[in-house]
Amino acid sequence: MAKQQQTIGASIGFNGVGVHSGEAVELTLHPADAGTGVVFQVTTPSGGIREIKAVSANVSSTDLATVVGEPNGPGVATIEHLMAALYAMEIDNVIVEIEGREVPIMDGCSHAFVQSIREAGFVPQLAARRYVRVLKPVRVEMGSAYGEYRPHDSTRFEIDIDFSSAAIGRQSFKADLTPDLFCEEISRARTFGFMKDVERLWASGHALGSSLENSVVIGDDDGVINPGGLRYVDEFVRHKALDAIGDQALAGARILGCYRSYRGGHRLNAMALQALLSDPTAFEMVEVPVRTGTRARRELSIGAASPAYEPQKL
C-alpha cells in the first residue's frame, strides 16, 4: 500500500455508451495535482464547464447507479465502475473530462479502465496519502439487508448476496483489496439484471444502452442467456463487490477498515458511508497505514438459493 499520493502518467481517452441513457459518451482522464482528488468536468447545456468532486456529499441519486452532481442540474451517472478502478489501482488525483451525462459502461465492468490506467502508468506525488481509519463498528439496515464498517488493519470487503433466482442464489466474496486482487478477481465481473425487468426499466428511461455485450442477463427460465456464459462462477457477487468498492471511493480518502454488506446495493453502500463519516467518534484521519506490503486474504463460498427478500439492484 503506497504512502504517497499518485496520479496517472498520461491522459487516457474512452468512448462508449451510457448503460441507462443509451447516449454516446466521450471521457478522458487527465493527470492532476496532489490534493485534487477525483473531479468530474462536465459540459453544461450553455457550453460552460462545471466541476463536480467525486465525494459522498455530492451524491444526488443511488437509483440503479451512483450519481454525483445536482439533482436537477449538471451531474454524472453510473460512476461506480470507473471509481472502483481508480480506487483499487490507488489513483488519488485525476480530472475526468466527460462529454455526456453518464460514464460509458464499456463491457459492463472495470476491466477497460484498469487496463488503460496500467498502460498510462503511475506517477508518485510529493504529498502523503491520507486514510480514514475505522475505530468502531457502524451499521445501517434496510429491512433484512445491512451494511457496516468494522475496524480492520487494511482495506477489506466482505460482500454477501442472496437472491431467490436459482442462477444466483447465495454467494459470498471476502478479500483484502489490492491492485492485483482487483485486476485478477473483480475487475471483469459485469453488471447484471433480469429479462423480466427490461420493459419496466425501458419505460422508466433506464437500461436504454444495456445489451448482452455489457450486461449479464438472466432469462425467464432463470438461466444466463449470454452466449459466453459467466466469466466467474460467482460473477454476481464479484460485481456487487466491484460496486461496493466504487461507492466507497467517494469517502474522499482511502478507508482502513472492513466494509461488510448483506443483500446490499448502491443505496445501502451510500448510507453506510454517510453514517461512518457523520460520526466523528467512528474514525480518525491518518497518513501512515497500520501495515504495508501484506498479501491479500481471499475467501469464497457459494450456497444454494434462499427465497426471502430479494432487493432491487440499485
| CB 303, CB 171: distance < 8 Å | yes
The neighbouring-strand residues paired with 17 are 24
Q: Is 81 annotated as a binding residue?
A: yes
| CB 148, CB 274: distance < 8 Å | no
SS3 97: strand
Q: Is 30 annotated as a binding residue?
A: no
- Select which of 20, 111, 206, 266 is catalytic: 266
Respond yes or no: is residue 152 known to be catalytic: no
Q: Is 111 annotated as a binding residue?
A: no
CA dist., res. 136 & res. 279, Å (int) = 10
CA dist., res. 97 & res. 118, Å (int) = 19
Nearest residue to 159 (alpha-carbon basis) of 144, 143, 175 = 175
For cell 462545471, name the residue.
Answer: 50
| CB 41, CB 168: distance < 8 Å | no
List residues forming the annotated binding site for Zn(2+). 81, 239, 243
Instruction: Tell me the binding residues.
Output: 81, 239, 243
Active site residues: 266
